[in-house]
Amino acid sequence: MMATLRDIADVIRSKNSGPFEITFDVIFANADRYRHVRDSGMLNPQTVLQLYGVPESDLLTCMFFEPALAFKFTLRRHGDQGGVGERDTFGAQQHAPLMTLEVPAFHGA
């Protein structure tokens, strides 16, 4: 049985990480949910590249960070922050594809 990442994670967000990068965080309320998603293998560099349709060279960081019970990655911007044609200066609207990513359903607390 599958669920969406937004059903399991407590925070899914994106934010500006300087004029040339956007960073993403998927944060879990407890270690069981964190480990469940981590161990499913559904969050990985290939998934990120596919979700965002970017080349591998645009993926700057991609990792699970246990002290924060989080999965984090950073993408290179496709234009300078605040540059001509910029549509999301703060990078706060880029996390949407993560929300509907299907992962195995969690059956715990």
pTM of the model: 0.88
How high is the pLDDT of residue 82?
57
Q: Is the per-residue pLDDT at 85 higher than 80?
A: no
Give yes or no for residue 40 having a pLDDT over 80.
yes
Q: Residue range 57-66: average pLDDT?
A: 97
Phi, psi torsion values for 78, nearest 5 degrees: -95, 40
Dig out the tokens for 52 from the structure.
Answer: 């965002």
Domain edges within the chain = 2-79
- What architecture does CATH give domain 2-79? 2-Layer Sandwich (3.30)
